Amino acid sequence: MITIVDNFLNEIELKNLEDTIKNKEYRLLDDTGNHVGEYTKYRWFIIDSALRSSEHRYPLLKKLSDVYGEEAPTENLNTMQLFAKIFDKDSFCDHHREDPHIYGNWVFMLYLTDEIDGAFCAEGLSVLPKRNRVLITKVGFEHWVEKCSGTRLNITGWSFCTDEVIKRWSG
Domain ranges of the chain: 2-170
- pLDDT of 30 > 90? The answer is no
Supply the DSSP symbol for 71: P
Q: Are strands 152-157 and 106-111 parallel, antiparallel or unpaired?
A: antiparallel
Burial letters for 102-133: b for 16+ Cβ neighbours within 10 Å, e otherwise? bbbbbbbbbbbbebeebbbbeeeeebbbbbbb
**What confidence score (pLDDT) does residue 38 get?**
62
SS3 label, residue 2: strand
Answer yes or no: CATH 2.60.120.620 is held by domain 2-170: yes
Confidence of residue 148 (pLDDT cuts 50, 70, 90): very high
Answer yes or no: are the C-beta atoms of 114 and 131 closer than 8 Å.
yes
Mean pLDDT, rounded, for 46-62: 97
- Residues 65-119 have pLDDT tens digits of 999 999 999 999 999 999 999 999 999 899 999 999 999 999 999 999 999 999 9
Q: How much is the mean pLDDT over the chain?
A: 92
